[in-house]
Structure 1
Amino acid sequence: MTIIDGKLTKHYARVWDYCHELLRSNPGSTVQVGVTVNPDQTTYFHKMYLCFKAIKEAIGRDASNQVYPIAWAVVDIENKANGKWFLELLTEDLNLLDGGGFTGLLEATKEVLPNVERRQCARHICANFRKTYTGMEFNNMFWAASFSTVESEFLRKMDDIKEVDPNAYENLLARHPHTWYRAFFRTDVACEAVENGIAECFNAIILDARKKPLLAMFEKLGCT
């Protein structure tokens, strides 16, 4: 693999050259590089953000229900600081202002996009729920509640869960259900998704690319 793609150290040595080449060959795009220094001040990691402004959504579905990405970043660790850095660049690129008219995950958008409609991924809620309440019966009842489009239907589905196990009912109520079932979603946003499948789809496609050194990975991402 080293013979084919080169050493990782050489990739990092060419980060700035790669940045300038992307800007030269893709007019109108945004490429930014930051540096994260470890606490011991002996090593550093380049953070790279790429945004191709020809597409007007960060991650979305087109009229044919096809998924397309607009921006991605490589960071040293997935944390709040790096998430905020990415969102700030994305907000500036797409002129998202305060986030009105868009949806986003709960924690990631609080500071940068205060008016975004905050949601949770129902699939993650379900995965945590099923650690305690196992079996297809609970699974089916959860998704029936999550896909409810009016509040009365949601309450009926939740009552079904309560009849089987009151503790399961209380467990779900404690998880802010207005963020993961459709009946409470704003109609002006026009996004009915209850789970983060759009991002998960992209992550599944790039598994092979993520095994490569930095610049080879970016080239693979660009062709995916």
Structure 2
Amino acid sequence: MSDGKSFQLKSLISEHNCAKIFKFGSIVTYKWIGTHFKHQFYNNEKMSVQLLREEVKTAFGINVSMSQCRRAKKYALSLAEGTISENYARICKIYIYFASVKEGWRRGCKRIINLDGCFLKSFCQGEFLCVVGRDANNGIFPIVWAVVCMENKVNWKWFIETLSEDLQCRNDRHGLFLISDQHKGLIEVVKEVFPAAEHRQCDRHIYANFRKKISGSKFENLFWKARKATTEA
């Protein structure tokens, strides 16, 4: 056309004699490769990167790099199985406990249990709950740990009830001590699950709360002297 913005197709040749082999893999992406071979990786997760490179060359006549194939394999597996963050998001609660650890605590540790929780960052959102004890050398002895969506009374109760069943110490009246922070839900649950145990609060958490109102090195020295005192006065 005279305006130069349109064209007219007069003939079409459906058969081509052009070369089908390309020397460079820059014309494709690792996502394109992974999408085409996701079923092969789903059926055979041990499929090597070298074999994938040969399959791409055989099927499409394209020479791709090993790094492209590595990324393509990772992408193909994520399509078939889901990414780590997607699978992690499906987990509501997870509790980890080993029988050997239980026996080690019951046979060789002091009757002291420390409970605490902390926030998980990155794509691992939620709360990490853990229980540690003290061994005969006064060292830290990990007992059990769990991951929950948030730190509240419901999750603490589930965690501590499971802990009491594993350690078989729900009705232990022989000097069982528990140490924790001042989380309201945790304090209430400990009274319900371990009514006979002695429950004390962590000095560090008490001091951290006091610092919000009173601070200074003089107060800090007095506080740490008071927590070591053997008399009430």
Shorter-normalised TM range: 0.3 to 0.5
State the TM-score, normalizing by the size of structure 1.
0.48
* Structure whose alpha-carbon radius of gyration is higher: 2
Higher relative contact order (CA 8 A, sep 6+): 1
